[in-house]
Each structure stands twice: as C-alpha cells, then as structure tokens.
Structure 1
C-alpha cells in the first residue's frame, strides 16, 4: 500500500523538486526541461487521465518559471512548451497501452482461475475417520496460473487422495490437471490398489502430454492403522505423529513423475507407513518449500511444525498460510497447495 502511494505521488514530487531546484539555482541555470519527468513518471502507474493532468500541471508551472528565468515569450520557452506537450502525449499513449495490457492479463488470469475452480472442487472436511483441511493460494505476480491439483475421495478401498503439480503454467497446465483429476476420480473407485491407479494416470497422460512434459504427484490410501503412499517425484509429505515424532516420508526408491513412465523400467512402488489415531500428515506442492524471503532463504516448512499441531487442522493450515505469506513479504511467485489429514482419536466408550 505504501509503494502504491509512493508511485501515485512521484510525478507531483518530481515537479515540486524541479521547481525548488530551479528557484534555488537561479535564472542562470535552466531546469525547465526536467518538468517532462512529471508526465513520464505518471504513465508508469497512473491512468491516461491522470497522466494528462500531470502534463497540464507541468505546463502551468512552466509559465511562471519561464518568467522567473527571463524566458517568457522567447524561443526557449516555446520549445520547452512543445517538449512538455509532446512528452505528455507520448506518455498518455504509453499509459493507454499499459492499461490495456493489464486488462488482458487480468482477463487471462480470470479465465484460468475460473477453469481451475471448476476442476478443483472443495475436498470433504471429513472422510471416514479422517479430518481433511486444504489451503490453496494462487500466485499473484502474473496471470500465469499454475497447475497444482488435489483430490480426496472415499471409496470401498478406503480414503484415497491425490496431490500433484503440473509442469508449466497457464491454461495448458490447467488442461493437464483436468486430465489427471478426471482419470483419478474414475480410477479411485474402480482400481484395487495404488499402482493400478498410477498405471491409469500414466496411460491417460501418455495420450495427451507432449514429450518431456510431466506431473509430479503423490497417491495415498488411508486404511486400517496406516496410509499407503506412492510418490511420483513429488516433495515428501511430513508425518506428525501423536507422540511428537516428526518425519519426512521419503519414498523407499525414487519414482519418475507421471508422464515420464517410458523413461524407466516401471512405476514407483507403494510404501505403507503408520497413520494411527491422533496422527497428522501434511502434503504440499513445491510452491510452499520453494517460496523465498527477500534475502533468498527458502521457507522452512519442517521448522513450522508447531503451527500445524497447535489447533484443529483447518485453523492450523490458515496459520501456516499466513506464516508463509509473511515469510515471503509479498505475493507468491508460484501456486501453493497444502493438504492436511488428521486421524481422529478413538473415544473410549
């Protein structure tokens, strides 16, 4: 907000500075041409009308200063007037083109976000004995929305989940996310295990993705007293045990991202980890751990575990998201999705 105010006031501050410098320096030194900086700076941030107003202000200030410098009516004064008018006109054109470009970017972003909202339907807050919380933050720096995706469904085989990140940005990434989500929502109810779901996703992407395009993802299934995970090159989830133990669930062997299955001997193997009553597990996309502060330091997600354990899952993710934004000190450069599962403690009868 302070930066916006500074940019709005900058053209007027420049004109005031030129006036003060010209008066202090005296008639021997002419600073009148510097009045053209006013409309020039106005075009960087202001509207066409605001740029025109700053140009008129520069013309109005020019006349008394020309009189002070003994230039009123002389060819130097006329040349300065013509220069201010010319620069103001060019600045108004630049302001118009900038505003049109900003509107186009806003329209593209609106379309992408609308498509993404249709695809990324709200996850259930509760699935069997698991409480689910989600935080999704879109990148705000450009209109190039990302391809983060997620889903949680309750099936005859247990609670199944998907979280992933499509390579690339924009509408193409959203389209790829649609293929992955559609294939997962169908396969999650029909396939008996995670490797079979993975094969369905790989088959779908092999028909649609271009060469070297891919989707990092984690498939999960909550059943019994554990959770099965199948990691396709995605950042490992963080398991927060009820006894205070914190563990990054690294895959037992590296798995290729979805869409790159033709480059390896086979898909990754699923692994089962304990997920008992009272445990929590956090899934996230790389937009979280790759977020940097002004000094270039990455967001220390694992060190923020106390925020995740402090309260109910939904509030915990809200606080974690706020902490992430505060760490960056500005808008996110990439979409950031976080999915938190909490296994409810069994109450004694």
Structure 2
C-alpha cells in the first residue's frame, strides 16, 4: 500500500490489494512474501529442485545427450531468489555435484574439466549478482521506511475515535514507489469544535506533497485556535498563495498550482442544534451523506474556487460557510478524484453514489465509516482493475454516539 495506506481505524480486508498488487505493492517485497510458508523461507526449493532434475535427467539419458553442464543455472536461479549465503551454498554444491556425477561415468563419457570450470565460474558470478541484488533490496526497504516516515508526517495517524468523531480513511498513491502524493486529510479537535479537512492538490510528485504538508500545517494550527470557521478558511487560502509564491521564487513552476478541499466543522452545539455541521467547499466534489436507513444524498455543491485561486476574484473572501444537518446515524463520505474520476476499460466512470446506495440498502452496516471506506476502496479497485490514474483517498466520518 505497498503498500498502500491501510484503513485507518479498521482492519479492513486486503483481498483486493492482493489481487491488484500494482495498486500498491513493491515487487521485491512481494516476492519475499511469496517465498515464505508459515513464516519460513522456501526460496531454496526451486534451485534445489532444478539441481535434482538436471542430475536425474543426466543419469538417465545416453552419453550423446549430457546436460550436467546445465548445473551452471542452479546458482543463477538461487541468486535471483535466495539470500547471499543460500546462493553461496548452491555455488559450491553445483561444482561438487558436477564432479560426483561426471566421475561416476566411464572416462569416455565424462564431460571433462571445461564444464566444471563453467559451473564454478557461474557460481562465482551468481554470488556477486546476489550481493548486488540484496543490497538493492535493502536500499528499497530503507527508502520505503523514509517514505513511510514522510507519509506519517504529512498524513499523521489518527486515533480510532478522535474529537468525538468515528472515522476511517484509506489512501492509495498512484505513484506506488512514492507511496504518498497530493491528497490530504486530517481531524483537529479544539476548544471551538472538531474540524475536518479533506483535499487534493493539483498535480503529482514531490511538489504536490510539499503543498499538502503546508496546507495541513496551517490547518492544524488555525483549526485549533480560530473560533470562526471563515477565518480558518481564509488562513488556508493565504497559506496556499504564500506557498505558491515561495516555490515560484525558488524557480519551481508552481505559479498556477491549486488545491480543492472540503473543510468541515462539528461545533460544540447547544442541545437544540446537535446535528449541525458547517461546510466550506473549495471547489471539491460535495460530500455524500450516507444514512443507516439506506439513503444517500449529496450535500449542496459549493460555489467556492479552489485554494490558491481566490485571487482571481481580486483576492476576495473565502467561500461561504454553509450549515447542514447530519445526524449521528449518518456518515459523511468524502473522496478525491481518484474515486470520482476512476474509469474502467470502457472509459465509464465509477458510479459511486449508486454503488453505495445499493450496498447500504442491502446491509445498513455498510454506512459505518470503517465498512464504508473499505467498500468504496474495493469498488474502485475492481472498477479500474487496480490501475489507479490518480491518488485515491476515501474518508468517512460521523459523530460518535453520546
């Protein structure tokens, strides 16, 4: 997720990710997983089986067809899948086996020393190649640790219940090597309520990650300290423009970068307004409200411009705050364009609202955040065959009862 980012706050199944490894798995790490049975490595089995097969065939064929020299392949196979010491064992075992088998035949049928030198040289080269491969895989693991650290810094882990909200999230990066991209989300509890931010930076790559980190840093501070959600929204807009100007001054072509986002506020409401949720939409797809009763409705679309583009209106105010009603039995589902623009082989978009409505009607428990994000994730992977064209985030949140 690769590994992808797992479902936050849930143990959602990884079956679809196993079927579509290119959606978030590293080849070298996955190969090592496949070569283990009950926690024990079985990488030695293929080269040993090849060695036994070569010896068996050689001893049971006529002198005109000798294949004992094929033992040079054994350390080569070991070098591709075994560790260094395992490869060394087969590099030594192959010449020894050659000597034992060849010397057991009459002198006129022996292959001779030339093929023995070939087997020994093949073992030495295979060992060297294995050393290079193992070092490369160690480097891959080290880079994976670095990107995981970056991911946890940008998309910090959230407690299962945070700020009075039950939530779950799943994140799949289109760049499976980077494992992090321009999608972002966070929950920030504070004295003025619990604020939620979900968004998508335009573009991909490290520049998008930097922008997402800048926005999240501002959100975490402003959402805690500012009593007015409009002020929080304004701070995000200013931060986007400042970051864009800074990157442009450094020589990066970020002058037109922007971000779509949805900012939510679950205020500490009085008893007569417990279902109030304030929403600011920066050009993002409106969230879906998914109820336990099977109803699925989108929130009213926002008319605000994306973050970083409000200066097109002469630096005007941030998008307006809209108050909506979302009960404790309803879940807010927010996705990025990795879901809303997911297409199958026939260039058909993923019917998110229809699929969610059908699933919740069949099983109301799907409306719960952890089940909901798992369902949408798996549906997106099935629809696209695991070929993600963009970073994909699925985020679901609802009030915690009581």
TM range (shorter): 0.7 to 0.9
1:211-226 matches, within 5 Å, as 211-212=253-254, 215-222=259-266, 225-226=275-276
Go from structure 1 to structure 2 and tell me whether the alpha carbon gap of 1:57 and 1:208 turns closer, same or farther (over 3 Å shift).
Answer: farther
Structure 1: gaps of 5 or more residues: none
Higher relative contact order (CA 8 A, sep 6+): 2
Deviations 1:94-140 (A, max 9, x none): 2111211222222222123224334415257253xx52323346769
Work out whether residues 287 and 333 of structure 2, in 8 Å CA contact, stay in contact via their aligned partners in 1: yes
Go from structure 1 to structure 2 and tell me whether the alpha carbon gap of 1:28 and 1:44 turns closer, same or farther (over 3 Å shift).
Answer: same
Structure 2: gaps of 5 or more residues: 1-31, 37-41, 268-272
Query: 2:101: which partner in 1?
Result: 65
Residue 166 (structure 2) aligned to one of 124, 128, 132 = 132
User: Which stretch shows the higher mean deviation, 94-103 or 108-117?
Assistant: 108-117
CA deviation after TM superposition for structure 1 residue 10, in Å? 1.8
Query: 1:22: which partner in 2?
Result: 58
Partners of 1:135 and 1:308 in 2: CA distance: 20
Go from structure 1 to structure 2 and tell me whether the alpha carbon gap of 1:182 and 1:112 turns closer, same or farther (over 3 Å shift).
Answer: same
Q: Does 1:83 align with 2:114?
A: no
SS at match of 1:104: helix
CA deviation after TM superposition for structure 1 residue 174, in Å? 4.8
Query: 1:3: which partner in 2?
Result: 34
Residue 214 (structure 2) aligned to one of 179, 202, 213 = 179
SS at match of 1:25: coil
CA deviation after TM superposition for structure 1 residue 199, in Å? 1.5
Query: 1:32: which partner in 2?
Result: 68
Deviations 1:173-193 (A, max 9, x none): 554332111111233343541
Give the TM-score of the pair, scaled to structure 1. 0.74
Name the Cα RMSD after superposition: 4.5
User: Which stretch shows the higher mean deviation, 155-164 or 137-146?
Assistant: 137-146
Partners of 2:102 and 2:341 in 1: CA distance: 56
CA deviation after TM superposition for structure 1 residue 29, in Å? 1.1
SS at match of 2:112: helix
Work out whether residues 116 and 174 of structure 1, in 8 Å CA contact, stay in contact via their aligned partners in 2: no
Give the TM-score of the pair, scaled to structure 2. 0.65
Go from structure 1 to structure 2 and tell me whether the alpha carbon gap of 1:250 and 1:61 turns closer, same or farther (over 3 Å shift).
Answer: farther
Partners of 1:143 and 1:41 in 2: CA distance: 26
Query: 1:153: which partner in 2?
Result: 188
Go from structure 1 to structure 2 and tell me whether the alpha carbon gap of 1:185 and 1:322 turns closer, same or farther (over 3 Å shift).
Answer: closer
Partners of 1:19 and 1:300 in 2: CA distance: 58
Partners of 2:152 and 2:193 in 1: CA distance: 26
Go from structure 1 to structure 2 and tell me whether the alpha carbon gap of 1:168 and 1:98 turns closer, same or farther (over 3 Å shift).
Answer: farther
Q: Does 1:207 align with 2:256?
A: no
Query: 2:334: which partner in 1?
Result: 283
Deviations 1:199-245 (A, max 9, x none): 22422431344425554433223455444444456565332035421
SS at match of 1:83: helix
Query: 1:340: which partner in 2?
Result: 396
1:319-334 matches, within 5 Å, as 320=375
Residue 152 (structure 2) aligned to one of 100, 107, 117 = 117
Work out whether residues 115 and 174 of structure 1, in 8 Å CA contact, stay in contact via their aligned partners in 2: no
Work out whether residues 123 and 132 of structure 1, in 8 Å CA contact, stay in contact via their aligned partners in 2: no
Work out whether residues 308 and 317 of structure 1, in 8 Å CA contact, stay in contact via their aligned partners in 2: no
Go from structure 1 to structure 2 and tell me whether the alpha carbon gap of 1:12 and 1:291 turns closer, same or farther (over 3 Å shift).
Answer: farther
Partners of 1:298 and 1:54 in 2: CA distance: 52
Work out whether residues 139 and 331 of structure 1, in 8 Å CA contact, stay in contact via their aligned partners in 2: no
Deviations 1:289-312 (A, max 9, x none): 78999xx99988653553994179
Q: Does 1:44 align with 2:101?
A: no
Residue 239 (structure 1) aligned to one of 283, 289, 300 = 289
Query: 2:39: which partner in 1?
Result: none
Query: 2:91: which partner in 1?
Result: 55
Query: 1:144: which partner in 2?
Result: 178
